[in-house]
Amino acid sequence: MTGPVPSKPLSITDRALDRLRGGRRVDPDHASDVRRDVPSDVRPDAGPGLRPYQLAAVEAVLAARRAGKRRLLVHLPTGAGKTVIFSHLARLARRQVLVLAHREELLTQARDKLQRALGGGAAPVVAIERGALRAPPEARVLVCSIRSLHQARLDHLMRGRDVGLIVYDECHHAAAEDNLRVLRQLGVFEPSFTGTLLGFTATTARGDGQGLDQVFEQIVYSRSLPELIDDGFLAPLRGYRVATTADLRQLSPAGLDFDEEQLAEAVDIEERNALVARSIQELARDRRTIAFCVTVNHARHLAHALNALGVPAGIVHGAMPADARAQALADFREGRVQVLTNVGVLTEGFDDPGVSCVAMARPTRSEGMYAQCVGRGTRLHPGKTDCLILDFVDLTTLSLCTLPSLFGTPRDLDLRGGDASEARRAWMAIAFDRPGFELEAGAVTLAEIQDRAASFDPLTLRTHEDVRAISSHAWFSLGRHGVGLHFQRGGRVSEALVLRRPGRGKCWEVVVDGRPRERFSQLEAAVEAVDYELERMGRGAVLSAAPEAAWRQAPPPAISDASGATNLEQALRASAWNRFHPRANAHEG
DSSP 246-267: EE-TTPPEETTEE-HHHHHHHH
Q: Are strands 237-247 and 387-395 parallel, antiparallel or unpaired?
A: parallel
- Residue 88: which of 151, 38, 141, 147 has the closest Cα? 141
Q: Are strands 492-500 and 508-512 parallel, antiparallel or unpaired?
A: antiparallel
Distance in angstroms (rounded) separating the CA atoms of residues 532 and 554: 27
Q: What is the pLDDT of residue 15?
A: 35
Question: Residues 214, 215, 221, 227: is their CA dihedral positive or negative?
Answer: negative
Angle at 560 between CA 449 and CA 492, to 5 degrees: 115
**Residues of the chain by 3-state class (helix, strand, coil), percent to 5:** 40, 20, 40
- Residue 167: phi, psi to the nearest 5? -100, 125
Q: Give the three-state DSSP class for 146.
A: helix
Distance in angstroms (rounded) separating the CA atoms of residues 140 and 137: 8
Q: What is the pLDDT of residue 415?
A: 93
Contact 497, 482 (CB under 8 A): yes
Contact 196, 168 (CB under 8 A): no
H or E segment at 101? Answer: strand 96-101
CA distances from 14 to 18, 19, 107, 300 (A): 9, 10, 33, 39
The letter for the amino acid at 312 is P
- Residue 284: which of 239, 230, 235, 222 has the closest Cα? 239
Q: What is the pLDDT of residue 505?
A: 81
Rounded to two decimals, what is the model's pTM? 0.71
Q: What pLDDT, in 10s, does the model give residues 484-535?
A: 999 999 889 999 999 989 877 889 999 999 999 999 998 899 999 999 999 9
Q: What is the mean pLDDT for each group of 10 consecutive residues in the chain (589 residues)?
A: 38 34 37 34 53 95 94 92 89 90 75 76 70 79 87 88 91 86 92 93 65 86 94 96 92 77 94 96 96 96 97 92 89 96 75 93 91 93 96 89 92 92 90 69 74 61 70 87 91 93 87 95 92 94 94 82 75 86 48
Contact 242, 403 (CB under 8 A): no
Q: How far is CA 533 from the centre of its chain?
A: 46
Contact 357, 292 (CB under 8 A): no
The letter for the amino acid at 208 is D
Q: What is the pLDDT of residue 440?
A: 64
Question: Residues 514, 517, 522, 528: is their CA dihedral positive or negative?
Answer: negative
Distance in angstroms (rounded) separating the CA atoms of residues 350 and 192: 37
End-to-end alpha carbon distance in the chain: 57
What residues form DSSP beta bridges with 488?
493
Q: Are strands 257-258 and 126-129 parallel, antiparallel or unpaired?
A: unpaired
- Residue 237: phi, psi to the nearest 5? -115, 130
Q: What is the pLDDT of residue 481?
A: 84
Q: What is the pLDDT of residue 28?
A: 36
Angle at 227 between CA 17 and CA 442, to 5 degrees: 85
Q: What is the pLDDT of residue 517?
A: 94
Alpha helices in 150-210 (DSSP H): 151-158, 177-186
Q: How far is CA 385 from the centre of its chain?
A: 24
Structural domains of the chain, ranges and CATH numbers in brackets: 17-223 (3.40.50.300), 237-454 (3.40.50.300), 459-588 (no CATH)
What residues form DSSP beta bridges with 510?
498, 518
How many residues can be counted in the chain? 589
H or E segment at 90? Answer: helix 82-92
At how many degrees (to 10) do helices 446-454 and 420-433 cross?
Answer: 10
Q: What is the DSSP string of 524-551?
A: HHHHHHHHHHHHHH-HHHHHHTSTT-GG
Give me the sheet containing 515-520, strands edge to edge.
476-477, 482-489, 492-500, 508-512, 515-520
Q: Give the three-state DSSP class for 306.
A: helix
Q: What is the pLDDT of residue 148?
A: 84
Name the DSSP class of 93: B
Q: What is the pLDDT of residue 243?
A: 92
